């Protein structure tokens, strides 16, 4: 509902102690309202009434009105990322299973698994869910974006961006567009979400993100692989890329609409 702002801080001390946290602020006052220690990922429910949070071993859903701990979703413990699946009672997580990685869909109230996707060899770190709850997108190394049907989690199609790096998936609020943002050079590829036809390809020069602390392949949380560098604006007609301090471009024309300071 726009009243709260949330962010995750990913930090490890010099002696290897993880001090991650998810912090929430009141947008009107600017004051911190809640700090959830040892947590690294989160998602707001579509109705704005709940917050799903991941720690190293647990997935917990809180009620935002009084911060009561609503339920622990045990099948999503140790997930890499979490996302509500278009419904306040459906939650997806990226889970590690027998050395591989999959998307798992759970019923929050029952704490049960509804479905699980095919397993992939390499880890991935972000999920984007369509507003109608019918589609979920995941981004991968090698420039791949995969669309999965919900709730079955069967593969609908795979898109190839032609870039080498890890891709952040994006679905526009109105459902028209699917986008893939390259985490290495700031490139953005935009497709028609229904037909999978490539519509636009924009390059943001000097868009590379410099990472000073690279995690190892065995680390559960690797934020350098998927920092949130791209976002559709609410009208779905423009896209924000976090390079040069931030640039807003028209989706259709590629025209630069706004540039923020470095």
Q: How confident is the model over 150-197, as pLDDT tens digits? A: 999 999 999 998 888 889 999 999 999 999 988 777 789 999 998 989
Chain CA centroid to CA 42, Å: 9
Contact criterion met (CB below 8 Å) for 41 and 23: no
SS3 letters for 240-254?
Answer: EECCCCCEEEECCCC
| Structure confidence at residue 176 (pLDDT) | 93
Distance of CA 40 to the CA centre of its chain: 12
At residue 179, the pLDDT reads 95
Helices of type H across 64-189: none
DSSP state of 245: T
Looking at residue 97, what is its pLDDT?
87
Contact between residue 167 and residue 161 where contact means Cβ atoms under 8 Å apart: yes
From the list 231, 237, 21, the residue with the least C-alpha distance to 128 is 231
| Residue 196 Cα to chain centre, angstroms | 20
Residue segments in the chain with a per-residue pLDDT below the cut of 50? none
Tokens standing for 96? 């590690």
CA distance from start to end of the chain: 29
Q: Over the stretch 46-73, which tens digit does the pLDDT of each residue have?
A: 999 999 999 989 999 999 988 988 899 9
| Residues composing the chain | 262
């Amino acid at each position: 509902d726009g009243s709260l702002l949330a962010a995750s801080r990913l930090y490890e001390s010099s002696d290897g102690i993880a001090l991650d946290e998810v912090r929430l602020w009141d947008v009107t006052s600017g004051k911190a309202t809640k700090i959830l220690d040892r947590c690294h990922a989160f998602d707001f429910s579509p109705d704005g009434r709940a917050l799903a949070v991941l720690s190293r071993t647990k997935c917990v859903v809180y009620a935002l009105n009084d911060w009561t701990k609503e339920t622990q979703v045990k099948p999503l413990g140790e997930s890499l990322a979490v996302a509500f699946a278009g419904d306040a009672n459906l939650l997806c997580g990226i889970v590690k299973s027998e050395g591989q990685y999959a998307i798992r869909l759970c019923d929050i109230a029952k704490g049960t698994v509804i479905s699980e996707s095919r397993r992939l060899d390499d880890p991935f770190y972000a999920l984007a869910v369509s507003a109608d709850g019918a589609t979920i997108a995941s981004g991968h190394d090698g420039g791949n974006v995969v669309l999965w049907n919900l709730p079955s989690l069967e593969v609908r199609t795979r898109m190839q961006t032609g870039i080498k790096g890890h891709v952040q998936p994006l679905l526009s609020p109105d459902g028209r567009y699917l986008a893939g943002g390259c985490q290495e050079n700031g490139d953005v590829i935009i497709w028609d979400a229904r037909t999978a036809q490539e519509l636009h390809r924009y390059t943001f020069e000097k868009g590379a993100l410099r990472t000073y602390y690279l995690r190892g392949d065995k680390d559960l949380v690797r934020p350098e692989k998927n920092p949130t560098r791209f976002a559709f604006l609410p009208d779905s007609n423009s896209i924000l890329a976090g390079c040069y301090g931030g640039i807003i471009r028209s989706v259709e024309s590629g025209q630069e609409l706004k540039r923020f300071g470095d």
